[in-house]
Chain A
Amino acid sequence: MATMEFTEWIRGRTDEQLRALVSARPELITPVPAHLEGLASRAGSPSAIARVLDRLDRFTLAVVETLAVRTEPMTRSGLAGLLGRALTGAEPEPALSVALDRLRDLALVYGPDDGLDLAPGVRKALDDPAGLGPPAAEVFRHHPPEQLDEMADEIAPGTPGTGRERLAAALAEPGRLIAEVSDEARAALDQLAWGPPTGRVPNARREVRLGSARSPIEQLLARGLLAATGEESVALPREVGLHLRQGRVHRDLLPVPPALEGATRDPRLADATAAGQAFAFVRAVEELCERWSVEPPGVLRTGGLGVRDMKRTATELDLPDWAAALVVEVAHAAGLVAAGGGVDGEWLPTNGYDLWRVRATADRWVALARAWLHMDRVPGLVGERDERDRPLNALHTDLRRSSMPAVRAATLGVLASAPGLAPTRDSVLDRLAWERPRRRGPLREQLTEFALREAEQLGFTGLGVLSGHARALLAGDDAAAALAPLLPEPVDHVLLQADLTAVAPGPLTSGLNRWMTLAADVESKGTATVYRFSDGSIRRALDAGQGGDELLSMLERHSATPVPQALSYLVTDVARRHGRIRVGTASAYVRCDDPALLDQITADRRSAALRLRRLAPTVIASRTPRATLVDSLRAMGYAPVAESIDGDVIISQLDSRRVEALPAARVVSSANGLDPEVATAAVRALRAGDAAHLARREPVEAPGGSVPRGPATATISALQDAIRQGVRVWIGYLDSQGNATSRILEPARMEGGYLTAYDETRAAVHRFALHRITGVAGLS
């Protein structure tokens, strides 16, 4: 029994090899099975096999497929020969050795070199291996025997055996039969030859004879070159497919990954460009949070950010829509913005943003970059429509695609394999298709394109080349240290010009930046910033509590050149009008119901510096900013309180608002492989469990004795074998009253925790709960 052999083979693996196995297939030990038999049976389950096959590259998968085409074990040389036919201009070795080692490590292939076989369950998991249909013996299994006999009589008269056997024998060498058919029929065969091996034909089960066959399809059906698999579907038998392929299982194979194509770039320039982009991205996130803290967009009732708010944000950030969506999503994934506030909810910066904001730019980038690597949302989908034709919104749960982190990792992995090269999109897709052939598809390609585009936008790549700092990040090194020297130094001055513009020739220090943004309008953004002063902008600064003199002295202090006359005139002129009507200046006031106290303050010598002016018996105005005034009055021994905006309206400043951060999402480790210590512990547990299991294992008692008992996993694999081989078994079963009984069954299928079988003792088909089957024994 293949299962037994496989289990024994697993048991024979060294601890080292088992560790490799569970590290590469962590799903086998979640949870850790009780013993190695359990491990072996879990390794053969369809879902586990599908997962591990998904991780194979093109060539290794081709080795599996080639083995799967044959129903019998193969010798290594036979395997090499078959593979060699598909390789153009290349030898199967040494790639084959590497692939076989890997497949043994993954427990997909076992057995010695002269008897290589696939692990149980693998053949079943691969329907149509390499695009070949089922073998003749299988494809005709459900045809009525009489019909098969008649067909066999026609195409292979006088041969021995059942109709199905005779047909299979004839199809093993189908050259003669193929030569008989018309050109149209031949063309139809050629179309199916390289897969998919199935086609749709109306009334596929029609009765056809050699003599009565008219259409090309009928000619093929009559010769068994096509077999009906349903009312309207036909399949090409595997032998016929192989013959048409001239014995090749694959059309063309590459033993090594396809080379990446693209332009080579100066790595220093690429790093610099990436750093520039990283800087721009950090700035964009900061700007987003600053804007949202003043004007937060609402949370949609279904969650997410409204289309109009998204558009507005893109305009404000001066980014294309997709890039703005990326900024929003990364800020969210990094825990810098979250839903909160108000009844309906608003998107607000978190208090984590305040911590993030004060860190060095390089550290801030690392935080964003990590969040992007692990986030399972796909910002690229924002603005596209879902299957119900509704637009997908940013920050909405609909954007989640669980494969996205893996796609990012794989894509960056490809880039990392080619230092200094900017591979073209197509060659990246080709390489990924080779590395993960079972994962390819339009969605995968789209996600890969998103990953490439976003990597550039975030500054992982520059000019298409993976940067040094991104490499460091992926390798777990200090990415911030690699990035920091590449970032532009903050500058603390601007160049003022007579056309009322100011140019900051680099990123401004954060205080000056805020001040400039207040007192002037931004005209051009980038590493440098161009500002324009206007009536409106100066007035805004005055409204926010700046004085005209203060503005001028600030300009003088931070200008590398003299302040142009036109600008100082503008400031003075606006400030002049501003004061005249006495509305909305930055002036603070002191208000007190007791005029005597105010008399005292104005009389106080120390208050001279505060430039106080009595407006009314109970009000003193001051040109000193409110904060200074409060501090100075406190220093003089008074106890002033700054009035809130609900007081007698003077200063109108919007408060920055914050929301509690949600705990960051837990990073799933599967993308990064298994911790070696976990693997070691798991193997140790398995060995111990297995030893215990073997020690108390007793031979299964023969029928007629007491009820068979056995561990559940062994039961299941025994039942699977029985289904596969179509044999009868003896089971122990606890009925619904808890009574132990024994039955003789012909198992048919197993699904959803139930075994469906023909119960010979009751002469009827019954369903049996698997957990109540206490054991299985074979019947001779």
Chain B
Amino acid sequence: MSVNDGPLIVQSDKTLLLEVDHEKADECRKAIAPFAELERAPEHVHTYRVTPLALWNARAAGHDAEQVVDALISFSRYPVPHALLVDVAETMARYGRLKLEKDPVNGLVLTSTDRAVLEEVLRSKKIQPMLGERLTADSVIVHPSDRGNVKQALLKLGWPAEDLAGYVDGEHHPIELAENGWNLRPYQQEAADAFWHGGSGVVVLPCGAGKTIVGAAAMAHARATTLILVTNTVSAHQWKQELIKRTSLTEDEIGEYSGTKKEIRPVTIATYQVMTTRRKGVYSHLELFDARDWGLIVYDEVHLLPAPIFRMTADLQARRRVGLTATLVREDGREGDVFSLIGPKRYDAPWKEMENQGWIAPADCVEVRVTLSDEERLAYAMAESEERYRFCATTPSKTHVTEALVRRHLGEQVLVIGQYIDQLDELGEHLNAPVIKGETRVKERERLYQAFRDKEIQVLVVSKVANFSIDLPEAAVAIQVSGTFGSRQEEAQRLGRVLRPKADGGGARFYTVVSRDTVDQEFAAHRQRFLAEQGYAYQIIDADDVLGGV
């Protein structure tokens, strides 16, 4: 009787294993999603993890420990370890003991329902300087400028504060969605609503699922002046075009704040790069944050947010913030800062689920293993260790295979993506295709992208400048020849380039060309982990199959 037939197995290390083919799997997924992070979603068993952040996210969304325990017990196949239940209750009870509130007289105040916790926090050397006068036994003044820092520090102490101090509305500016000929998809609506009710937070959607539109919907909620932070200039242009197309905003209302232009308009799009530019050791463009009374700040690709912007964001806690990303995986492990400074995760949809619903194109991932020639092997063995990756990632054998792959997909729109410029130039020459790299001017880049979209060019060789936010809906094949070592999120972003649903409803192909028995192969395995965990089954083939097949 103890062994019921639930779909969930609760492990003592706080991972939850969900058998997806089980009849109650959907019901169970809905029940555990609020408090467990989806860690892996391969084909049979999905792994969730119950982390303190996830539990606090759940508390922030109004769930209590009772519900969490109940969900675990009712869906679990085996008895749930008692220690885990105790831990869940204890962890969740830590959230909200401290609250940041607005006091009509004293401004921002940190209050506590548990005096012992407040005492513990007040003793912390990190927090002391951010706090002002002790008002009562249970409350203390917080310097308004330290709202973010206090939250960040409290999270590190394990006593996350509930931020009830609210937001400033910002300068009103009318923004409506213009749903002419298109509609907000249900999940986009849910994501935007979830963000708005939460006040601030992060929306996680796969590449190609229309994160820009979620941003636009969030702006339509806020109806206020908006600052949008994006990764690069091309991406800024795309945001601008998309906003003009999808909302009531006109070109005059949208400004670009980048290396070349410094426009400040009701909606301003700025790049990370310009914001982090320093002159004589000071950030020279910080005033942008105060240039207007922003009502909303949008962080595109929040997993890439550079550290200086985190620090600036700490000062913007009174403004609503929305982060958009395809993965919350940060190679630097600063997920906690995203939680405390941007906000908790408000929406998350598994990639494969989006694919099943047809919102993103199905994709086949193929790893092509190239065997190095004998001379190459010898040279590789003798290479300096810091040169080894570059050597095996750019080996000439890869060029042959890439050519063969391009030939195989003749007639389809093909992107060749790589890390090393020499290699890309050589490929461009062999394939007779244009190359876009860092030094390519923005105008030229946009012309090439447009030509690619219009199918005037069928093969485009791009460097990592095209990793993000480049909207190339018709790209159906991507061939990755080299990358930034073992970066998981780069792999996901690159796959994202081909995930836009195709006009013909066809699938996408994502090739990675890898040198066998080298560090290239090891990095590839690491890069693939995120996508494999999202349910993308990599197939591995030998280069000979490609070469011989043509």
Contact = CB atoms under 8 A, between A and B. Distances in A.
A506 interface: yes
B533 A499 contact: yes
A505 interface: yes
Contacts of A268: 1-2
Nearest to A268: B1
A184 interface: no
Given A497-B42, A505-B17, A566-B539, A530 B532 contact: no
Interface in B32-58: 40, 42-45, 47
B80 A273 contact: yes
A277 B79 contact: yes
A528 B79 CA distance: 11
A271 interface: yes
Nearest to B78: A527
B12 A503 contact: no
B194 interface: no
Determine the main DSSP class of A at the interface with B.
Answer: mixed
Contact of B10 (A485, A501, A526): A526
A528 B9 CA distance: 7
A277 B43 contact: no
A273 B537 CA distance: 36
Given A524-B11, A565-B537, A499 B40 contact: yes
A496 B15 CA distance: 18
B2 A276 contact: yes
A222 B104 CA distance: 65
A503 B45 contact: yes
Interface string A458-501: 00001110000000000000000000011111000001111111
Contacts of A2: none
B348 interface: no
B2 A566 contact: no
B529 to A, nearest CB: 7
What range describes how many residues of B lie at the interface?
Answer: 35 or more
B125 interface: no
Given A276-B78, A488-B78, A525 B17 contact: no
Interface string A549-577: 00000000000010011100110010001
B517 interface: yes
Contacts of B163: none
Interface string B41-83: 0111101000000000000000000000000010001111111
A273 B13 contact: no
B535 to A, nearest CB: 8
A90 interface: no
Contacts of B43: 497-498, 561, 564
Nearest to A572: B540
Interface residues of A, number: 44
B538 interface: yes
B88 to A, nearest CB: 13
Contact of B81 (A269, A276, A489, A569): A276
B44 A577 contact: no
A425 to B, nearest CB: 12
Nearest to B538: A566
B2 A275 contact: yes
B300 interface: no
B101 interface: no
A641 B213 CA distance: 74
Contacts of A487: 2
B474 interface: no
Contacts of A463: 82, 85
Interface of A: 268-269, 271-277, 280, 318, 456, 462-464, 485-489, 495-501, 503, 505-506, 524-528, 530, 561, 564-566, 569-570, 573, 577
17 contacts: A269-B73, A276-B2, A277-B82, A462-B82, A463-B82, A495-B19, A495-B45, A497-B45, A499-B40, A499-B533, A524-B17, A526-B9, A527-B11, A528-B78, A530-B11, A566-B532, A570-B540
Given A524-B13, A573-B540, 6 more contacts: A271-B2, A273-B81, A280-B81, A527-B77, A530-B17, A565-B537
Interface of B: 1-3, 9-13, 15, 17, 19, 40, 42-45, 47, 73, 77-83, 85, 517, 529, 532-533, 535-540
Closest 4 CB pairs of A and B: A276-B79, A526-B11, A272-B2, A498-B537
